Each structure stands twice: as C-alpha cells, then as structure tokens.
Amino acid sequence: MEDKIATFFNEIRTGNIKAIEEMVTELPELINSPDQRGFTPLILATYYNHRDLANYLLDHGAEIDAVDASGNTALMGSCFKGYTEIVTDLVKRGANVNLSNEMGATPLIYSATFNREGLVKLLLEYGSDARLKDAKGNTALDHAKTQGLHGIMDLLDKIEN
C-alpha cells in the first residue's frame, strides 16, 4: 500500500490526471490520504498549479479545507503562490476564506503580503475578514502597509476602518 501511495503522490506532482483517475477508481480512500509530510492530494495538486486535477479531486470528495502539517489549506497555498484560477475555483466551491494556519496567516494575509491585489479583491468578495490578525498581531492591512502596497492598502483600509 505504501508503494501505491508514493506512486499516487508522484503522479499528483506531475499532474497525470489519467493515472490519478485510475488509482482513485481502484482505491477511493486515496482522495484524502496525506503523504508523509502531511500534504493532502488537493493541497499538493494546487501547490503545483494543476487546476484540472484539483477540480477532479474536489469532484470526487476531496476535503476542500483539509490542512497540512502546518495548518495550511489548499486555498492558503494557492494565495501564497498567486494561482488566481485555482483560488477562484476554491472560493466558488466554498473554501473557508477565514481559516488561519499555525502562524495565524489567512488567505487574505498571504494575498496582501505577496502583493496579489486581484486575490485580495476576490477574497473580500467572498467574505474574508480583514480584521483577522496573525500570530504577531498583524492584519492583512498591516502587511500591505509595511511593504507600501498602496492598491491593497486602499482596498483594506476601507474595510478595516
């Protein structure tokens, strides 16, 4: 079984949706099985920007808000990486936009920190709480201010104040 799980995760990394479909048909429990580092198939598929694979996994029961060993979700990782299409898919499918990881970072905090203005807008449209703070007590607006990201500051300042 361990060999099959290793092969499954290697196929996810390469985006081989055909192989994933075959393996999930044979072993449906693979959909939410974490790898040795705690990554779920969905988190890994989104990390490698495999949009079609991520949607296939969601269509077949992947837990949208599952977390890795650090408490990150597929949505958090996609915001960190700036994968707009995947973020859009995830929020439209109901991903929780206000979950935070072990450091208190939220998808909105990641989007603001990494200057992803379009994602900030999208997350706000889907109910992101701009008042949430990370473990150091900083909001997404605080992160934007630190970096002088004026477009994001303008978006968040209207909401926080």
DSSP conformation class of 142: H
User: pLDDT tens across 78-90, in order?
Assistant: 999 999 999 999 9
Provide the whole-model pTM: 0.95
User: pLDDT tens across 35-62, in order?
Assistant: 988 999 999 999 999 999 999 999 999 9
> Are 1-63 and 75-80+96-161 the same fold in CATH?
yes
Is pLDDT at 112 greater than 80 in this prediction?
Answer: yes
| Dist. CA 160–CA 125, nearest whole Å | 14
Contact 75, 95 (CB under 8 A): yes
Ranges of each domain in the chain: 1-63, 75-80+96-161
Is pLDDT at 160 greater than 80 in this prediction?
Answer: no
CATH superfamily, domain 1-63, is Ankyrin repeat-containing domain (1.25.40.20)
